């Protein structure tokens, strides 16, 4: 099933998307986050969706404004594509190769769950940035609480997948990561999810013998193809990522796990690192980024001018006086 969140006649709704694009509202809830929080995991999601399909249909998807399919409780963004690491590392800090430590575990950082945009939304330039980039990812959504999961257990905790654009201010990212923290403000202004949440069972036919989802990925800017890759080029499965995320802590319904950016042009910075120049150029207001993932859908957003940064003083060099 495909679930969509949308606004129609000034009201927010959650619906199952029919094969013809007709929306079938889910009774009793207004968001996927609310439905997942009610418990039941994948079985509960499919049950609610089945009931919606049997009820009276709502509007067609072309008649509504789509929202992000969910408002995440948290967003862990992993970095699981070796080719991406190699290219972006060269672009951002001038280093070659892939750090040996990268192979030890599926590394992630926490990004901003309050800056999530939906399909078709305008995305503002981050304040103070002139080097904006897109990142083509797939996100898994957690539907059941779990701690210290094995990968086998984690499969039952993933309820579905959606397309994820992890917008990145590369100039801010490069500067702040010299401090040894981050990315922080370089990733803080926007992330886009959508157009739908596709339930995990729908993508099982795409799973290969090694447990990876073999889905074609395509990135375009202003209609020109920038990158193509396969999701199965990840170095860890989503189940392994979820197990690592749950190690020593709890994953909860509504948590989002990003795959990390794919290779072969999944972002501009990878190409800049390989080519030694900013070609194609950084994104600017008026540019439209379109990301397509086989079996999930297409996510498109246009960049617009953002706010000017609020001036702040530089850090003071203090005396280090003690009481």
pLDDT (mean) for 258-265: 97
Which residues does 314 contact at the CB level (< 8 Å), separation at least 6? none
Please, which pLDDT band fits residue 89 given cuts at 50, 70 and 90? confident
Q: What is the pLDDT of residue 96?
A: 83
Task: Please give the Cα distance from 22 to 2 (Å, whole number).
Answer: 11
Task: Please give the Cα distance from 130 to 282 (Å, whole number).
Answer: 8
Q: Are 111 and 77 in contact (CB under 8 A)?
A: yes
In this structure, the dihedral spanned by the alpha carbons of residues 236, 239, 241 and 242, taken in order and rounded to 10 degrees, is: 180
Q: Are 230 and 113 in contact (CB under 8 A)?
A: no
Alpha helices in the chain (DSSP H): 32-37, 41-54, 82-93, 151-154, 170-177, 200-203, 238-245, 268-275
52 pLDDT exceeds 90?
Answer: yes
> Quick one: 74-304 is in which CATH superfamily?
Fumarylacetoacetase-like, C-terminal domain (3.90.850.10)
Phi and psi at 307, nearest 5°, equal -75, 155
Across 170-204, b (16+ Cβ under 10 Å) vs e yields: bbbbbebeeeeebbbbbbbbbbbbbbbbbbbeebe
Which residues does 270 contact at the CB level (< 8 Å), separation at least 6? 83, 84, 86, 87, 88, 91, 227, 261, 263, 264
pLDDT (mean) for 85-89: 88
Task: Please give the Cα distance from 32 to 5 (Å, whole number).
Answer: 7
184 pLDDT exceeds 90?
Answer: no
274 pLDDT exceeds 80?
Answer: yes
320 pLDDT exceeds 80?
Answer: yes
Please, which pLDDT band fits residue 177 given cuts at 50, 70 and 90? confident
118 pLDDT exceeds 90?
Answer: yes
Q: How many CB atoms are closer than 10 A to CB 163?
A: 25
The answer to whether the predicted template modeling score (pTM) of the entire model surpasses 0.95 is: yes
How distant, in Å, are the alpha carbons of 129, 158, 179, 215 from that of 205?
Answer: 42, 16, 44, 10
Q: What is the pLDDT of residue 29?
A: 93
State the average pLDDT for the chain: 96
143 pLDDT exceeds 90?
Answer: yes
Residue 103, judged by CB atoms within 10 A of its CB (0-12, 13-18, 19+), counts as: exposed
Return the bridge partners of 108, or none: 78
What digits encode the pLDDT tens for the residues 4-51? 999 999 999 999 999 999 999 999 998 999 999 998 899 999 999 999
For residue 288, the SS3 value is strand
Q: What is the pLDDT of residue 95?
A: 79
Alpha helices in 38-194 (DSSP H): 41-54, 82-93, 151-154, 170-177
| Angle (CA) 186 224 172, round 5° | 10
Task: Please give the Cα distance from 102 to 95 (Å, whole number).
Answer: 14
Q: What is the helix, strand, coil percentage profile of the chain, to 5?
A: 25, 30, 40
Return the bridge partners of 292, or none: 218, 298
Give the start-to-end residue ranges of the domains of the chain.
Answer: 2-67, 74-304
182 pLDDT exceeds 80?
Answer: no
């Amino acid at each position: 099933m495909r679930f969509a969140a949308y606004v129609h006649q000034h009201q927010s709704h959650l619906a199952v998307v029919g094969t013809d694009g007709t929306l079938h509202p889910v009774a009793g809830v207004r968001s996927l986050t609310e439905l997942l929080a009610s418990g039941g995991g994948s079985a509960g999601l499919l049950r609610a969706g089945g009931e919606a399909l049997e009820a009276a249909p709502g509007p067609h998807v072309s008649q509504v404004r789509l929202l992000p399919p969910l408002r995440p409780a948290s967003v862990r963004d992993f970095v699981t594509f070796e080719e991406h690491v190699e290219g972006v590392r060269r672009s951002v800090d001038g280093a070659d190769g892939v750090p040996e430590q990268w192979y030890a575990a599926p590394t992630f950082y926490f990004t901003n769950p309050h800056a999530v945009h939906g399909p078709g939304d305008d995305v503002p330039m981050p304040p103070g940035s002139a080097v904006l980039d897109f990142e083509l990812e797939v996100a898994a959504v957690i539907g059941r609480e779990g701690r210290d999961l094995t990968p086998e257990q984690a499969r039952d905790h993933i309820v579905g997948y959606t397309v994820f654009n992890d917008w990145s201010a590369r100039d801010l990212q490069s500067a702040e990561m010299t401090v040894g923290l981050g990315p922080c403000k370089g990733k803080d202004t926007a992330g886009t999810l959508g157009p739908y949440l596709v339930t995990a069972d729908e993508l099982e036919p795409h799973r290969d013998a090694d447990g990876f989802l073999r889905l074609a990925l395509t990135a375009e800017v202003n209609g020109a193809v920038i990158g193509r890759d396969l999701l199965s080029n990840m170095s860890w499965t989503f189940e392994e990522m979820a197990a690592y995320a749950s190690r020593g802590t709890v994953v909860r319904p509504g948590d989002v796990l990003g795959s990390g950016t794919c290779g072969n042009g999944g972002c501009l910075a990878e190409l800049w690192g390989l080519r030694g120049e900013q070609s194609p150029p950084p994104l600017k207001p008026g540019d439209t980024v379109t990301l397509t993932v086989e079996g999930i859908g297409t996510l498109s957003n246009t960049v617009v001018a953002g706010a000017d940064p609020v001036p702040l003083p530089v850090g003071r060099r203090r005396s280090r006086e003690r009481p």
